[in-house]
Amino acid sequence: MKFKHSMAGLMGVPILAAMFAVPAMAASNGSEWSVGLGLGGGWSPEYRGADSYSAEGLPWVQVEKGRLSVNPVTGLSYDLLASERWTLAPTISYAKGRENTGALANFEDVHGGLMAGVMLNWTSNHWQLNGDIAAPVSGDIEGVRARGYLRYRGQITKRLLFATGPGASWGNDRWNQALFDVSARDAARSGLSTYTADNDYLRASMNGRLTYLVTRQLSVSTVARYSRLLGDTADSPIVSTVGDANQWHGSLAINYQF
């Protein structure tokens, strides 16, 4: 496992960005604007399947008004269905590609792009289920991707909150091929074997978050996640030869809700 320090683009670290959506941030009441600001740092693989890690820093801005929401994680969304337990929203978001470094320095970059999809959320007391399905409309990534996360949320003390639970990501064979195939040109440049992912992209994860409420508007959060690449994804030389199917992420951030 290798380490280095770097500054990442805003869309490049979803595990860090996701932590800003914490309970301390109150939702918009429908007619008023709600604005959240955050600043944090994270530690994550340099690309999907890498065994080298980078330290990253980024700002966070989230804006909500009624059913409309904009943030770096879910992008632009509008709640078509909004009840006490359920929300259903079309989304326009961004999917990171692969900026090749280290063992993949001679590979052709895979450029990210916009994704069009739909997001579904369910909440019941301590339980929360989030899922989305989307397809690229620009960039080099192709196919379809779906993600789901189940969380149990609770309180350790009045000010210290936690959330934990499993997650899973799936992409069809075209999604897998865009990120984990090794073309003849890339093989010749890198010394890796050529590879074609015939089956789907699969990743399973376990996630945890701790949030300390300094005030009603100010909070500090830390997030940790372990994920495992599976199937044809893990068999790619990008992972099996020069990478690692085991992926770790960690981050710390301070958040303020106006």
Domains of the chain (ranges; CATH) run: 2-257 (2.40.160)
Per-residue confidence (pLDDT) for residue 25, from 0 to 100: 43
Per-residue confidence (pLDDT) for residue 8, from 0 to 100: 37
Cα–Cα distance for residue pair 10/47, rounded to 1 Å: 15
Query: What is the number of other CB atoms lying within 10 angstroms of the CB of residue 82?
Result: 14
pLDDT, tens digit only, all 258 positions of the chain: 554 444 333 333 344 444 455 554 444 455 688 999 999 999 999 999 999 999 988 788 999 999 999 998 889 999 999 999 999 999 999 999 998 988 899 999 999 999 999 999 999 999 999 999 999 999 999 999 999 999 999 999 999 999 999 999 999 999 999 999 999 999 999 999 999 999 999 999 999 999 999 999 999 999 999 999 999 999 999 999 999 999 999 999 999 998
Per-residue confidence (pLDDT) for residue 59, from 0 to 100: 83
Task: Find out whether 245 and 234 touch, Cβ atoms under 8 Å.
Answer: yes
Angle (CA) 220-12-69 rounded to 5° is: 65
Q: Which residues contact 110 (CB under 8 A, 6 or more apart)?
A: 97, 98, 140, 141, 178, 179
For 22, the token pair is 């914490």
Cα–Cα distance for residue pair 118/133, rounded to 1 Å: 6
Q: Which residues contact 8 (CB under 8 A, 6 or more apart)?
A: 42, 54, 56, 57, 58
Cα–Cα distance for residue pair 79/34, rounded to 1 Å: 15
Per-residue confidence (pLDDT) for residue 220, from 0 to 100: 96
Task: Find out whether 56 and 13 touch, Cβ atoms under 8 Å.
Answer: yes
For 167, the token pair is 């997650």
Helix (H) / strand (E) element for 56: namely strand 52-65
Per-residue confidence (pLDDT) for residue 13, from 0 to 100: 39
